Amino acid sequence: MKFFFTILLSGIIYAIPTWAENWSKVDQYIPVRQKAFCNLMDKYEVKAQEAASSRNQIRQNRVSLDRGQDLLALMPDGSFASWLVQVEEVFVVANGDAAYDLRLQCGVSLGSGKLDGGEAYMATAPEGSVIYNQLADVGVGDFILVSGQLVKFKELNASDRGPAFATQLSGDQARGYKRYNERVKYFADINTLAKFNLN
């Protein structure tokens, strides 16, 4: 069975600033598992960029599948705890829930999104929920600590070598991306959230 779940976004997407210089201030507070996740993403970044530049879908799928298998080995159930992320955006979707984009130190983001051809957003905070109310108090550039779980594709079984975690790949012409990792988003349900202060 063939699986290809990466979304290529087109159209107008607003530019999102980067705050790489701020990450050096908080590096010592980044959990080991989060650093391992980003090391894995960095390991595949060059391969992914080369595959994208080749305009060869087979190579692109292979990189995505290999990265997904290594990620499964690192995070079998997709859960993460007290990861330090930086807020990119919080917005309200059609049903009133809150959607979010949260950036990691390697450029990859965690957050809400739509599957290819879908209308409903995945990984949102229900209106009026604790996470929804906490998201109301954060803004772009804020560091927050989050725990939760990467969204898995339930239809995959142990014999399928498809991507296990739902991802979204933004089009490279849509924004002024500095690196490939900034195009990658993993859908992630957040179950705890706390503001992080250096003071």
Over the chain, what is the mean pLDDT? 81
Q: What is the model's pLDDT at position 4?
A: 36
Tokens at residue 138, please?
């954060």
Q: What is the model's pLDDT at position 173?
A: 47
d(CA 115, CA 97): 17
* Contact by Cβ (8 Å): 93, 99: yes
In the DSSP assignment, the letter for residue 195 is E
Q: What is the model's pLDDT at position 3?
A: 38
Mean pLDDT of 79-94: 96
Between residues 160 and 146, the one the model is more confident about: 146
pLDDT tens track for 43-75 = 888 888 888 788 888 988 888 888 888 988 999
End-to-end, the C-alpha distance of the chain in Å comes to 52
pLDDT tens track for 4-24 = 333 333 332 333 334 456 899
Among the listed residues 198, 185, 178, the one whose alpha carbon sits nearest the alpha carbon of residue 23: 198
Q: What is the model's pLDDT at position 5?
A: 35
Please, what's the b/e burial string for 30-65 (b: 16 or more CB within 10 A of its CB; e: otherwise)?
A: beeebeebbebbbebbebbbebbeeeeeebbbebbb
pLDDT tens track for 115-132 = 766 678 889 999 999 999
Per-domain boundaries in the chain: 20-195
Q: What is the model's pLDDT at position 68?
A: 83
Q: What is the pTM of this model?
A: 0.79
